[in-house]
Structure 1
Amino acid sequence: MTISQAESHKHLIRTKVWSQLRKVALPDSRFHHDYSSFIADFEGSSAATDLLVSLPAYKNADLLFIAPDNCIQALRYRALKDGKTVLVTTYGIRRGFWILDPNEIHESKWEMASMLDGMERIGRHIALAEITKLPMDIGLMVTGTGAINYKGLRFGKGHGFFDLEWAILYTIGKVNKKTKTIAVVHECQVLDEELRGEVWDTGCDFVVTNKKIIEVEDASKPNCGILWDKLEEGMLEDIEPLRELRSMKK
Structure 2
Amino acid sequence: MALCVDRQGHKASIRNKVWKELRKVAYPDSRFHYDFSSFIADFQGSQEANDRLMALPSFKSCSTVFITPDNGLEYLREKTLEAGIKVLMTTYGIRRGFWLLDPANIDPSLHKYASTLDGMEKVGKPVSLEEIVTMGLSIGLMVTGTGAINEKGVRFGKGHGFFDLEWGMLFTKGVVGPDTVTVALVHDCQVLTEELIPDEFDTVCDFVITPTRVMEVGAVKKPTCGIIWERLETGMLEDIPPLQELKEAPPFTKAQ
Q: TM-score range by the shorter chain?
A: over 0.9
Alignment of 1:132-151 (within 5 A): 132-151=133-152
Q: 2:70 maps to what in 1? A: 69
Q: 1:9 maps to what in 2? A: 10
Alignment of 1:96-245 (within 5 A): 96-245=97-246
Alignment of 1:87-98 (within 5 A): 87-98=88-99
Structure 1 residue identity aligned to 2:243: L
Structure 2 residue identity aligned to 1:44: G
* Distance in 2 of aligned mates of 1:76 and 1:100: 9
The Cα offsets for residues 101-153 of structure 1, whole Å up to 9 and x where unpaired, read as 00011111111000011100111101111000123421100000000001100
* Distance in 2 of aligned mates of 1:162 and 1:39: 12
Q: CA deviation at 1:61?
A: 0.8
Q: 2:254 maps to what in 1? A: none
Structure 1 residue identity aligned to 2:168: A
* Distance in 2 of aligned mates of 1:124 and 1:75: 19
Q: TM-score, normalised by structure 2?
A: 0.95
RMSD: 1.1
Q: 2:27 maps to what in 1? A: 26
| Residues 88 and 97 in structure 1, CA contact (< 8 A), matched pair in contact too | yes
Structure 1 residue identity aligned to 2:66: F
* Distance in 2 of aligned mates of 1:195 and 1:143: 18
| Residues 94 and 240 in structure 1, CA contact (< 8 A), matched pair in contact too | yes
* Distance in 1 of aligned mates of 2:78 and 2:103: 10
User: Number of paired residues?
Assistant: 247
| Residues 182 and 208 in structure 1, CA contact (< 8 A), matched pair in contact too | yes
Structure 1 residue identity aligned to 2:237: L
| Residues 201 and 220 in structure 1, CA contact (< 8 A), matched pair in contact too | no
Q: 1:52 maps to what in 2? A: 53
The Cα offsets for residues 158-204 of structure 1, whole Å up to 9 and x where unpaired, read as 00000000000000010001100000000000010111110000000
Q: 2:3 maps to what in 1? A: none
Q: CA deviation at 1:222?
A: 0.2
Structure 1 residue identity aligned to 2:36: Y
* Distance in 1 of aligned mates of 2:69 and 2:48: 19
Which stretches of structure 1, 4 residues or more, deviate above 3 A after TM superposition? none
* Distance in 1 of aligned mates of 2:135 and 2:143: 19
Q: TM-score, normalised by structure 1?
A: 0.97
Unmatched segments (≥5 aa) in structure 1: none
* Distance in 2 of aligned mates of 1:200 and 1:136: 23
* Distance in 1 of aligned mates of 2:169 and 2:219: 22
| Residues 128 and 241 in structure 1, CA contact (< 8 A), matched pair in contact too | yes
Provide the secondary structure at the position in 2 that maps to 1:87: strand
Structure 2 residue identity aligned to 1:83: G
| Residues 163 and 200 in structure 1, CA contact (< 8 A), matched pair in contact too | yes
Q: 2:85 maps to what in 1? A: 84
Structure 2 residue identity aligned to 1:67: T
* Distance in 2 of aligned mates of 1:219 and 1:124: 32
Which has the larger displacement, 128-137 or 77-86?
128-137
Q: CA deviation at 1:84?
A: 0.2
Q: CA deviation at 1:219?
A: 1.7
Unmatched segments (≥5 aa) in structure 2: 1-5, 252-256
